[in-house]
Each structure stands twice: as structure tokens, then as C-alpha cells.
Structure 1
Amino acid sequence: MVTLSPTPTFLEGYWQDCFSLEKHLQEFLKLDAETITEKLQNCRYDLANLGNTDFDWEEAAAFYKDKVGEMYLFKLGTWHLESQDYIGGTLKLIADQAKGRVLDFGGGIGTHAIGAAMCPHVDEVIYCDINPINRGFVEHRTQQLGLSHKISFRSEIPWESSLEGYFDTVLCFDVLEHLPDPSHQLMQFHKMLSPQGKIIVNWYFFKGFENEHPIHLDDPETVDTFFRTLQTNFLEVFQPHLITARCYRKV
């Protein structure tokens, strides 16, 4: 029998209703509960179908910024609602390790940024996502949850020398497989981290058994380079949760 790790009291709201996710979707999109439920049920293949017809690696950023729209809200919402214990395990890992100034890179519907902001050792969270609808939705959630004083929003984090050592924790979930050069992004994170900083990250370099993830990177050479970059520049920090996310500190 698998024994789940204890839940910190400040995260208990996630197990009740995913931090009021469906309620926030209704408010933000001005839709009734029945319509929200229907869209959550029907969104499963919409993004995959869009990726099969419209995705171009040369225009990856524009695809997520301009074409995905509100579709990703429902795609991610369904995933989070149906995978509560798994996502919850990621939140527990964040609670274990996150501190100080936190960057949530490619923050999606905001679950991880919200969880991080609730952690007592976290001073501030910078949520970053290129999709303007995602940013607007998470800003709405932040206001409703009384976290506006702790979470700020950016469409991108361009590299600047002033950012060197700026963050104590970097979060990056389900993003690296959507980038044409994940190794480059990994090294940007390395520069942004403080000397004792940590990155909590996952990836899924796989298009699926039936191409159900057409917008995922799976080029063997690029993936090999990513793992060499990771193993050269980061040391893994053990975590006890049964999830794909991993925690690393700088070598």
C-alpha cells in the first residue's frame, strides 16, 4: 500500500476544489457551470488536433501566444481536476523546497504559482506565461484568493545581467518539451538561480504512442544534449513524492 505524504495545512484548499478552479473559470469566462463542465469534458483532443494542423517549431512561441487561446485553460483544468493527488504531490514538493523569490516559468492556469505563494518561506512569486489569456485568468484567481500582494505577472523573462542570481527557486512544469532548445532554457535558469537556489522541473520528451502529443519535442539529439546539460550543471536533490517532477541545485 502506498502511503501519501502529509499535506501542509496551507495547501488543504487544493484538495477541496483545486483552489476554486471551476468557480474561477466561470467568473473569468462569464459562463454558467453547465457550460464549464461541458467544455472541460470536450477539450481533451482539441489542442492535439490544433497541433497536428497548425504547429510549426519555427513559430512555437506564436502558437502558444496567439493560437491556443482559452483552449489551454480547459485542457489544463481537466488535467488538474482529474489528477489531484499527482498535482498535489508536486505542490508538496514545492512546499518542501521553495523559498525566497520564486519564478514560475510557463505557469499555465496558476496552480503551482498559487501553491508557492501560500508557502510560508516564499516571499514573492513571479508568474510568467506568454499566453495573455492564461495571464489574465491567473491574475483573476490571484485576486480572488487574496494573493495579489505576493504574485506578479510577466509575459516573458528576457535574460538580463541583473537577473543573475535573482531567484531562489525556479518552477518549470510541462514546458521544456514545448521548446525548440530546452538546454538553452535550462542554462538561463542556471544563471538566474542564486548560489543556493533550486529548480523544480519536469519534462515529457515524447509525442505519444499514437501521436497524441504532436507539439512535444522528441528529437533524440536535442534530448541527449538536454540531459548532458542537466547532468553537468545540476545535482539532483532527493524528494520522496511519487511524481515526475524533480528538484535540482546548482553544481
Structure 2
Amino acid sequence: MNYGKQEKYLRRSRIWTMVAVVIVLVVSWMCLHAAAAAISRSTLIVFVLVVAALSASLLYTPDYLQLTVNPEKRWRWQVKIRWRIIAAVLVLGMIMPSGNHDRSIAVTSAVCLALVNLAAAKLVRGRYFALYFLLTDFLIVSTFSDSHSGFLLPVLWLAAMFHLFIVSYDRRPWLGMGILVPFIYLLASFRPPNESRSLHYSAAALVAVVALGSFLLVARAQTQHRQNLDAAMRELREFTSYSEWRVRRLWSTSNQELAKNWEAAAIPENDSERITQWYRDNSELYMFAISAYNLEYKRIISNLKVLRYAKGACLDYGAGNGELVLEMARNGHPAAYYDVDGVSKKFAQYRAEQQVLDVKFASSKEDLQKIVQERRLDTIFSFDVLEHLPDLAGELSFLSSLLNPGGLMMFDLPAGSTKAHPMHLNHNLDFRAHLRSRGMEEKRNLLQKLPFWKQEKYVFIRQAEANQETQGLSGSPLRGEPSR
């Protein structure tokens, strides 16, 4: 993946998204100004919530959020967005004066919020997931509606959400636009009571603006994502000679297969040799899992920000398919790759050859030390790796010993085993104290937490006055998963 192109696209996308949100807010203000005398407090509140929801949809729908190789993840993002919107309705309902109508708002919101939490895990794999969302949306907005707005706001909400569902799920965003155009025309042509006519016309304009904006933004996002997907597919097919169907299947199922294989192996957490062999034997599945993961929006954003901190000679420790190390080499850094000797390493070597990039590859500590003897490292990245290593203290000591004074080490360390990732090991090491004893200083303010990141990234700098002789080059062999 060419991250320079990704950064240009994302920069332009943010600009156009903010322009779309500003337009929605301006149209909304005009709507409220035109109909201020004819609407009640409840109608005003729900109208503001609709505007907030539509603005959030414009911010969340573009880019790659719901454009992954895993269809379930599209639904998960939909769940998160709706959960936040419903939670906002609930909070507003609770702080409002406790009239009968206001209490019903809070109760309905609380019920919908509970339904999302309880049913989402099951419904995310169901066929009627979209109908569930439409039902909860209808209940919320209907509760707010009064005699002035009638059926307008529930229908408005449903139409807008249905359109956003179509453009986020389907590869043909024009379909959602085409379905919505007749509705906009009918809404604008409808003859409501005089006191709410201006609100009807304004609402039709608002739906039209949001529909057009989301259509254009999602169309751009789908084009960019399709280019990324096609490039990844082409690389994998050329390397493996697999069919497109088989690549897509492995993209979707590799993580589940890895979890099953780990549980079937029943390897003790302290058995380094068997763990290493397991990762070597399963490296092809990891190759596909990593490839799919790197196509996700949040990973692209993460990699772009991380790459800004690369300086001098760089190492990606547990480099997997070579996503980061290839980009560092492309940017002119002396780059080194380290991972188990498996299919994913061979794929990274193939990619480096195809892109004519100078990357040094190693799969043993001895080979890596030879590379470092030529030029010590200024930057070490290790992401989605350390939670797989039995000897965390030894690995951190080894990595810190490879750095020049002033060199940077950045890593993450998810906490323990999960159902999706049972191969994650449980570490009780106070890694901060351990690294301080090795002459490393933490820089907590250097890297801000990124949106959508669930685990924190840690940044340590090697102090210039650290005693090189006390650092040592000891440490267990790499027993980790390729970086995703």
C-alpha cells in the first residue's frame, strides 16, 4: 500500500466531510429559523438530534470505516454509532423537566439502549439487522413527535438512515440516492397544516443535502477502498497463485482459523520452542489476517501517524507482511525486518523485490545483531507482537540494547488472552520500571491516543547517558505473531 496516496486522500476527504457538515448545519439553522414559531420544545429537541445524527453519519460513513473485507465489521461500526446517538437521547431525556412526555422519552431511549447492548452481538450475524435499527430509530423519534410535526420527523429519520445504510453497505451508492429522490419530491410536495408547512419544506431540503453529501463522500471512499483492495488482492494472487474466491475466503476466516488452531495445540505459555513452531506453521493464515487488517481505516490512520515518528535507521520487530518496514524504506530510511521465518516473511521479501526497496531481513537474533553492527538503530516499532512473547523482559532488554542514544522505541501491549485472540499471553511485568532500569525514558506526551485505538501505544527514548555495557544483547528468540 502506498501510504503517500492514502494520506492525500484522507486529507482531502476530511476537508470535504467538514464542508458537508457545515452545509448541513447551515441548512438546519435556516430550517429552525423558518419554523421557530410553529414548533414545540419536543419537536425542536428531536430536530436538533436528527441534525446531530446526520452530521455524525457524514463524519463516520466516509473513508474506510464500513469498507473492510470483513462484512461483520461494517455492522459493528453501525452498532457503535447508533449506540452513541441513542445514549445522547437518553442523557437529554434524563436532564429535561420530568413531564409525562419527557419521561416517556427517557424510558424509550433507555429501552432502545438496552436492546442495542443485549441484541447486537446476536443480530450482527443476522439477516434482518437493518430492520432492527429502523425499528429502534422509529421508536425514539416517534416518542418525540407531537401534533405539530405529525409523522414528519419519524419518516424523515427513517428515510435518511435508510439512505445511509444503503450507501454504507452496498457498493452502488447511486442506488440509495435513487431511492431517496422520489421521497424528497413527495415530502416537498405534501400539503401539511399551515403551521408546519415551512418545517416540511425545510426538512425536505435537509434530507436532500445529506443524501447528496453522503452519496458523494461515500462514492469517493468506495473508489479509494476498491483501489486498496484490488492492489492487495493482486499482490496476494501473484504470490500464492490462489483464486480471487480463495483469497477473499481466507481474508474473512483466517482469524477464526488461527484461534481454533491455537486452542487445539494447547501449548503452555512458557514453552518457547513450541510457540515459535506454531507461529511458523500458521504464518500463511497470519499473512491473510494481516493483509485484511491493514485494509481497515483505523489501521491506515494508525500506520500513517506512527510513520511520522520514524527517523534514521529503523527496525520493525515482528514485521509480518512488511507494511511498515516497506514504507520506511520507500521514505529513504535504512530499514530492517525481523520476524519468524515463515510464509509472511517470504511475502514481505517478495513485496520488497517487486517494489525495488532495500530492506534487510532477519529471523534470528544473531542475524539482527549483524545488521545492527553495521548501523545501530534510531527507531524500533513493535505492534501487535509483544503480547505473543513468553519472555517479555528479555525481549524489551534486547530491543533497548539495539538503540542509539536518543533512539525511539514504540510498541503496544494488549492485556491478556481474549476469545478472538486466545494466543495473547498474560504478562505481569512492570515494563515501565524494567525499561527505566535499562536506560529508557518514557515520553507519554509524544504520541497522542488515536481515534478508535483500544490499546495504548507506548513510547520510550534511550537516554544518552545510559551505560551501553549494562544493556546486554540477551533475550529470548522471537516467539511472536507477525505485526498486523
* 1:183 corresponds to which of 367, 379, 393: 393
Match of residue 114 from structure 1: 326
Aligned pairs (5 A) from 1:21-36: 21-36=232-247
* 2:248 corresponds to which of 15, 22, 37: 37
Match of residue 434 from structure 2: 229
**Deviation of the 1:184 alpha carbon:** 1.3
Aligned: 1:75 with 2:289: yes
* 1:152 corresponds to which of 332, 355, 360: 360
Aligned pairs (5 A) from 1:89-128: 89-120=301-332, 122=333, 124-128=334-338
Please identify which structure carries the higher strand content. Answer: 1
- Rounded to whole Å, the distance in 2 between the matches of 1:19 and 1:127 is 25
Name the SS of the counterpart of 1:224 in structure 2. coil
Name the SS of the counterpart of 1:196 in structure 2. strand
**Deviation of the 1:163 alpha carbon:** 4.0
Name the TM-score, length of structure 1 as normaliser: 0.81
**Deviation of the 1:94 alpha carbon:** 3.2
**Deviation of the 1:47 alpha carbon:** 0.4
- Rounded to whole Å, the distance in 2 between the matches of 1:30 and 1:136 is 14
Q: Quick check: 1:117–1:151 contact (8 Å CA) kept in 2?
A: yes
- Rounded to whole Å, the distance in 2 between the matches of 1:160 and 1:141 is 24
Deviations, residues 69-128 of structure 1 (Å, cap 9, x unaligned): 3111112122222x23x22233223332112211111111111112222224x2x11111
Name the stretch that deviates more: 95-104 or 229-238: 229-238
* 1:60 corresponds to which of 266, 275, 293: 275
- Rounded to whole Å, the distance in 1 between the matches of 2:242 and 2:370 is 44
- Identical-residue share of aligned pairs (%): 21
Deviations, residues 165-192 of structure 1 (Å, cap 9, x unaligned): 8111111111100011112111111110
Name the stretch that deviates more: 30-39 or 86-95: 86-95
* 1:248 corresponds to which of 460, 467, 473: 460
Q: Quick check: 1:89–1:241 contact (8 Å CA) kept in 2?
A: no
**Deviation of the 1:226 alpha carbon:** 2.5
Please identify which structure carries the higher helix content. Answer: 2
**Deviation of the 1:231 alpha carbon:** 5.0
* 2:341 corresponds to which of 131, 154, 176: 131
Name the SS of the counterpart of 2:360 in structure 1. strand
Name the TM-score, length of structure 2 as normaliser: 0.44
- Rounded to whole Å, the distance in 1 between the matches of 2:381 and 2:230 is 18
CA shift in 2, pair 1:105/1:18, >3 Å: farther
Aligned: 1:169 with 2:379: yes
Match of residue 49 from structure 1: 260
Query: Which residue type is aligned with residue 288 of structure 2?
Result: F
Deviations, residues 107-153 of structure 1 (Å, cap 9, x unaligned): 11111112222224x2x111111132111101111122232xx2121
Q: Quick check: 2:387–2:413 contact (8 Å CA) kept in 1?
A: yes
Tell me the number of residue pairs that the alignment of Structure 1 and Structure 2 aligns. Answer: 233
Greater C-alpha Rg: 2
- Rounded to whole Å, the distance in 2 between the matches of 1:90 and 1:249 is 20
Match of residue 211 from structure 2: none
Q: Quick check: 2:435–2:441 contact (8 Å CA) kept in 1?
A: yes
Match of residue 205 from structure 1: 415
Q: Which runs of 5+ in 2 are unaligned?
A: 10-223, 464-484
Match of residue 3 from structure 1: none
Name the SS of the counterpart of 1:107 in structure 2. coil
Name the stretch that deviates more: 136-145 or 56-65: 56-65
CA shift in 2, pair 1:76/1:53, >3 Å: same
- Rounded to whole Å, the distance in 1 between the matches of 2:372 and 2:350 is 27
* 1:238 corresponds to which of 446, 449, 452: 446
Q: Quick check: 1:64–1:131 contact (8 Å CA) kept in 2?
A: no
Query: Which residue type is aligned with residue 75 of structure 1?
Result: A
Match of residue 351 from structure 2: 141
Query: Which residue type is aligned with residue 442 of structure 2?
Result: L
Name the SS of the counterpart of 1:99 in structure 2. coil
Q: Quick check: 2:360–2:371 contact (8 Å CA) kept in 1?
A: no
- Rounded to whole Å, the distance in 2 between the matches of 1:117 and 1:12 is 19
- Rounded to whole Å, the distance in 2 between the matches of 1:183 and 1:19 is 41
- Rounded to whole Å, the distance in 1 between the matches of 2:237 and 2:260 is 25
CA shift in 2, pair 1:51/1:11, >3 Å: same
Q: Which runs of 5+ in 1 are unaligned?
A: 1-6
Name the SS of the counterpart of 2:459 in structure 1. strand
Name the stretch that deviates more: 17-26 or 174-183: 17-26
Q: Quick check: 1:11–1:118 contact (8 Å CA) kept in 2?
A: no
Match of residue 216 from structure 1: 424
Q: Quick check: 1:207–1:216 contact (8 Å CA) kept in 2?
A: yes
